[in-house]
Structures are given as C-alpha cells and as structure tokens.
C-alpha cells in the first residue's frame, strides 16, 4: 500500500509559533494511547461494528456481486434513495472510480446503468428524475436502517406508487432494500413485497456504513470491485493496529487534530487535488461533523467540541477559498490529498508563442501542472504559518480508496475518544427530526408539537419586505 502522511507543515519548526511542538506531540501520547485502547477494546461491539466490516462480509459480498451482475444485464438506470451516509458514500465511491462524465457516455462506452442518487426531498429534483429515466429499465435501491427516515421513505412511497400502478405485483422486481435485518419498517415492507434485501449490521451507523452493503451494493451495480475496497480497508486496519503514533497514520492525524483544537483551530478543510476525490470531501464532512460536533462529554459536562469541516477542491478552490486560508484567521487545518499517479496523462501542446506568460506551459502536462500547484499552495500556506498536512496516495483505485475511507473512520474514532465524547450519537440531528414529526402531527409527538406552539413568535420588526 502506498498511502503516506506528511505532517511537516503542522510543526512549529516549519510554520513557527502557530505550529505544534515535538513536546506537545510527546505530551499527547498518553491521551492517544488511551484513545487507541478505548477503540480497540470496543472493536466490533455496539456502534463499533464498522470495524468488523472489512472482515465479515465475504459471503454477503458474493451475493451482492451475483445480484448486481444479474441486474446489470437489463438495468439501464440505477437509483439510490437515501440520505446522509446512505447517499454520500455511494456518491464518493462512484465519483472516485468511474469516468467523470459517466452518465453522459454512450451505452457501449459506459457498459453499465446510469447512476443517480436522490438524497433530498426537493419536489423539482424528484420530478426531474422521472424526466430522465425509463421506469421499466430502472432499479431503485432504498437505503434506510430504521425504515422511518422521512426523506427516504417519502421517496419510496412515490416510487412504489408509480411502480405498482404500472406493473402491479411485478413492482418488487424494481426495488432492492438495504435495511436492518431485525427491526424497522423497511424490513417488514421488504418481506411483505418480496424485495431483494441486504442487511446493515446493527453496529454500523450511517456515516460509518460505506464498507457495508449500504455502499457495496451500489458499487457492485457500477462494476466497481468491492472485494478490493474491502481488502484495502483490511490492510489499513492492520497498519493501524499499533498505539505508536509514528506508525499509525490514523492515530497521528487524530493527535494533530486534537492538539489543534486546543489551539483554537476549529475548522478542518479537506482539499483533494483530484476531481475523482471531490466527493470524498463531502463524505468526510458528514463523518467529522456528526461524529465530533457534540455539546457534552461522556460525563455529561458541557464541552461544545468539534471542528467545522469544509470541503474544497484543488486547484479549483485556489481561486475561491485559498485567499481566506492564507491570510484569514488562524483557525484552520488544511488536509491535502495528493495523487502521485493519475489514470491519464494530458500534454499541453505548443502554441501562443507570442505570449510568454502562456507559452511557458507548452510541452508540460496537466499532471505536472496540478502537482506543481499543490506544492505551490502548500508552500504559500506554510510561509504564512498556516497548519496543513498531506495524505499522499499512489493512485486512485478500489484498493487505495478502501484504505482511505477506513483511515478516516479510524481517525474519527480516535479523535472522539480523545475528546471523551460519544462519537456515534447525533442528538442535534434528532431534535430537528422530532420537530418535523410534530409539525406533521405524527402520533407520539404531541408534547413536542405543544413546545413548538409555545415557542416565541417572530416579530415583524426583524423582517424586511
């Protein structure tokens, strides 16, 4: 495996007094060791079930590949209905592994179904989907562990109504359910309607679910090698089986973030220098925000911790965000993802001889240009004492992608343990959900409805018309 972490530009010896000292790293070792032990002692237990995902899915992976191979023969459109991790993970892996204009390719070049993810309830977006797919050639993958996710289940009701109206009892041939095996609404519907079904392990939450059937089935439908994804995750897990920060890439990055939070650096920017990894940043933002943004610690003490994750893309956002990163507040860590070997090489041809400020590019490649701009951006940030580190991938393939996903999951688990918080709950999300249920008059939410009714009324003097 060729994934390395270069954190020189986090250190005081490179960025001055805004950086981290060797003593700070040494002092945090005991906290990191405790976090490592906490995560390891919970391996496979409760909501740490995601740590078993690389190891215990050989059988389900075979069934996933078998069904996907069968469906791909006649399926022209594949649609995921999900939200949060059920959408962001499949989008990230799809974008990383497939042609960047995949849906626009001809059928012969694409050699697979067009892919869409509906992760919102905007009525215009839902209607737009039906303008571009042919229902008779579409498979819908409904993903919700509880079967009570309002957004996903509203989409399911719309789709199932249309399918049943057109195909009657054969509607079930167009739906694959991914849900809990033992509880919830969707498993009951799947059993009643006869849907093909894959199960989300009980100890795997949405934002940690990409290496479970949540992400593996969509990947297989797009002819992505899910066994290589899992192999990469396994080997990253093996690398992380040490409390020695100098040899555990997830633990050292966790320590860097933990120290930086103490320095007031409460924003974490994820900036891959590859369009293929653009949506890895989106996926990472959910993983970090929902896991680490918490009001109280495990003892109930108010702490209000967590870094605000920001997604960025090199070199695109050098022209929109880097000005702030270079000269704005000292409140950020920038994580670069560098790709050593792109899947294509594009040479810049000769031309514009009359313009020396353009012609100097000729004879070089876009590969050189993007790599040079990454180096230059790192240099500019470092010169201005801005904390940054780089994750270097040899290439973007299933193996390295699986390793990268698992690296971020381990990093998040370690940071949560170092912060002494519950990494796996999401009470802030639940409050919004409960208010929505109450506003719709859902049974059992009468007290919340009354609370909303008693809320302070808006004042017209604060509304501009």
Examine the residue annotation and report whether 290 is marked as an active-site residue of this protein. Answer: yes
Q: CA–CA separation, 62 vs 18, rounded Å?
A: 50
Examine the residue annotation and report whether 319 is marked as an active-site residue of this protein. Answer: yes
Query: Do residues 391 and 3 touch, judged by C-beta distance below 8 A?
Result: yes
Q: Which of 290, 332, 398, 400 is catalytic?
A: 290
Crossing angle between the packed helical segments 150-167 and 123-132, to the nearest 10 degrees: 40
DSSP assignment of 341-387 equals: E-S---BPPS--TT-HHHHTTTTSBHHHHHHHHHHHHHHHHHHTT--
- Read off the tokens for 345: 């090489």
Q: Which of 34, 395, 433, 448 is catalytic?
A: 433
The closest of 306, 277, 248, 450 to 370, measured between CA atoms, is: 277
- 3-class DSSP assignment, residue 197: strand
DSSP assignment of 92-114 equals: HHHHHHS-TTGGGS-HHHH-S-E
Q: Which of 319, 456, 461, 465 is catalytic?
A: 319
Examine the residue annotation and report whether 433 is marked as an active-site residue of this protein. Answer: yes
Sign of the CA dihedral 102, 103, 104, 105? positive
- Read off the tokens for 76: 């022209």
Give the helix/strand (H/E) hosting 176.
strand 175-179
Active site residue ranges: 290, 319, 433
């Amino acid at each position: 495996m060729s994934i390395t972490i270069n954190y020189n530009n986090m250190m005081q010896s490179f960025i001055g007094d805004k950086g981290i000292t060797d003593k700070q790293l040494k002092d945090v070792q005991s906290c990191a060791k405790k976090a490592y032990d906490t995560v390891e002692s919970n391996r496979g237990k409760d909501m740490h079930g995601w740590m078993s995902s690389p190891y215990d899915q050989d059988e389900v992976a075979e069934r996933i590949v078998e069904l996907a191979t069968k469906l791909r023969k006649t399926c022209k459109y594949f649609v995921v209905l999900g939200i949060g991790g059920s959408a962001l993970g499949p989008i990230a892996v799809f974008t990383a592994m497939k042609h960047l204009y995949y849906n626009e390719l001809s059928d012969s070049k694409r050699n697979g179904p067009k892919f869409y993810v509906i992760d919102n309830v905007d009525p215009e977006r839902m209607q737009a989907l039906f303008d571009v797919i042919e229902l008779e050639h579409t498979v819908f993958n409904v993903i919700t562990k509880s079967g009570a996710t309002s957004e996903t289940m509203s989409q399911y009701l719309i789709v199932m109504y249309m399918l049943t109206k057109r195909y009657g009892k054969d509607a079930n041939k167009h739906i694959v359910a991914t849900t809990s095996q033992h509880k919830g609404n969707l498993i009951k519907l799947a059993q009643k309607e006869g849907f093909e079904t894959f199960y989300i392990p009980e100890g795997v939450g949405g934002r940690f679910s990409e290496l479970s059937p949540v992400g593996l089935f969509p990947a297989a439908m797009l002819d992505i090698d899910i066994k290589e994804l899992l192999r990469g995750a396994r080997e990253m897990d093996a690398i992380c089986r040490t409390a020695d920060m100098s040899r555990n890439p997830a633990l050292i990055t966790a320590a860097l973030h933990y120290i930086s939070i103490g320095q007031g650096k409460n924003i974490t920017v994820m900036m891959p220098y590859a369009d293929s990894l653009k949506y890895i940043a989106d996926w990472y933002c959910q993983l970090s925000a929902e896991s680490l943004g918490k009001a109280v610690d495990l003892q109930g003490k108010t702490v209000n911790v967590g870094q605000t994750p920001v997604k960025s893309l090199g070199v695109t956002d050098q022209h929109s965000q880097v000005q702030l990163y270079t000269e704005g507040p000292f409140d950020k860590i920038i994580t670069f993802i560098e790709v050593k070997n792109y899947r294509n090489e594009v040479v810049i041809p000769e031309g514009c001889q009359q313009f020396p400020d353009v012609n100097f590019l000729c004879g070089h490649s876009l590969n050189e240009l993007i790599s040079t701009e990454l180096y230059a951006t790192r240099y500019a940030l470092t010169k201005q004492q801005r904390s940054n580190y780089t994750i270097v991938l040899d290439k973007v393939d299933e193996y390295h992608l699986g390793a990268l996903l698992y690296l971020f999951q381990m990093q998040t688990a370690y940071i949560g343990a170092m912060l002494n918080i519950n990494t796996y709950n999401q009470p802030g999300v639940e409050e919004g959900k409960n208010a929505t249920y109450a506003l719709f008059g859902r049974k059992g939410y009468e007290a919340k409805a009354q609370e909303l009714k008693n809320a302070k009324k808006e004042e017209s003097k604060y509304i501009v018309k």
